[in-house]
Structure 1
Amino acid sequence: MSDPERAMLLSVHPRFATAILAGTKTVEVRRQRVAAPPGTPVLLYATAPTMAIVGMARIASVQVATPREVWSASRASAGISRREYDEYMSGATRASGLSLEEPITFEAPVTLAALRASASFHPPQSYRYLTSQDLREMAAVTSEAGAALRGALKDLAPA
């Protein structure tokens, strides 16, 4: 995808979303290669029971390497135990460590119900890229939550 206005929608467990937004978890690990340049906005979708976009951050850098190398570089910032990491990475040959910066917590989370009311929204299992058109559709949510999303993404999804 060559759209310079793209963002990433990242599904994370609520405890990880909370830690990212608090700044105590600055690296998110994934089992697959992630190709996103520094500065890419990341919308944080907190999975059940929250089921809402709760905030955003920006990618500072991405490390793609073996699971062992990613753990070695990110263990102090990943917000998970070695046991959890090893269970998650079991069988993976490559891993990605997304260094995140500039977390912003949305005052009013953008709920799954609100997103589905404005478009045919389906949260990703892991992550997916969003184009500027996707962002415009998501920001069309008519509520305080939609206003928060529009404000956060105004440079990416102009009206």
Structure 2
Amino acid sequence: MSKFLFISVKPEFSHKIISKEKTIELRKNRPNVKKGDHVLIYSTVPDKSILGFAKIKRIIELTPQEMWNLYSDKLGIDKERFDEYYSGISKSIGIEVSNVCKLHTQINLDMIKSYFPKFSPPQTYKYISNITALRTYKKLTLRFTSL
């Protein structure tokens, strides 16, 4: 069964993913996902909202230098911050995405918490089954379109 990878991303980078300017999201640890799984894109403070979702095209594992040399045009980050992020780390992980879909209405954290009070966005990422994601989206959209 495929699943959703729920990732937290700084607004500068989440908006670049949604606009398709950035097609590879960088991580220090490899998530347990495969090609064809989906990723929910949660934009952190100050947005605090789910902006959209995408399909995972592939997971790339390289040294930071190889990642930069091969994919710098798809990373949405400058060299200085890239080097700072991977300082002292020998492996870089890239989550390459495709089929990016922007939600018509962002789902903000207050909306989610009003229905799921114990919910907290992931520090980096967490996994959600497709069924859970669809049921949650349906409940949230039905609730908030009727307000």
Fold similarity call, TM over 0.5: yes
Query: Do structure 1's residue 28 and structure 2's residue 29 form an aligned pair?
Result: no
* Alpha-carbon distance in structure 1 between the residues aligned to 2:32 and 2:70: 18
Stretches of structure 2 that go unaligned for 5 or more consecutive residues are none
Which segments of structure 1 move beyond 6 Å, counting only runs of 4 or more?
Answer: none
Alpha-carbon RMSD: 1.5
Instruction: Quote the residue 1:69 is aligned against.
Output: 66
Q: 1:7 aligns with which of 4, 8, 11?
A: 4
* Residue 84 (structure 1) aligns with: 81
Q: TM-score, normalised by structure 1?
A: 0.82
Report the counterpart of residue 124 of structure 1 in structure 2. Answer: 122
Percent identical among aligned pairs is: 28
Structure 2 counterpart of 1:143: 144
CA contact (8 A) 2:2 2:36 kept: no
Mapped to 2, the partners of 1:78 and 1:125 lie a distance apart of 20
Deviations 1:139-159 (A, max 9, x none): 222224xxxxxxxxxxxxxxx
Residues in 1 aligned to 2:10 and 2:35: alpha-carbon distance in whole angstroms: 23
Unaligned segments of structure 1, at least 5 residues: 145-159
Partner SS, residue 75 of structure 1: helix
Q: Which has the higher contact order (CA 8 A, sep 6+)?
A: 2
SS in 1 for 2:6: strand
Normalised to the residue count of structure 2, the TM-score between the two structures is: 0.88
Q: How much does 1:35 deviate? A: 3.1
Aligned pairs (5 A) from 1:99-114:
99-114=96-111
Larger displacement relative to structure 2 (6-15 or 31-40): 31-40
Moved more, 48-57 or 123-132: 123-132
Matched AA of 2:144: S
In the alignment, is residue 97 of structure 1 matched against residue 94 of structure 2?
Answer: yes
Contact 1:35 1:62 in 2 (8 A): no
3-state SS in 2 of match to 1:128: strand
Q: Given residue 107 of structure 2, which amino acid in structure 1 is its aligned partner? A: V
* Paired positions, count: 141
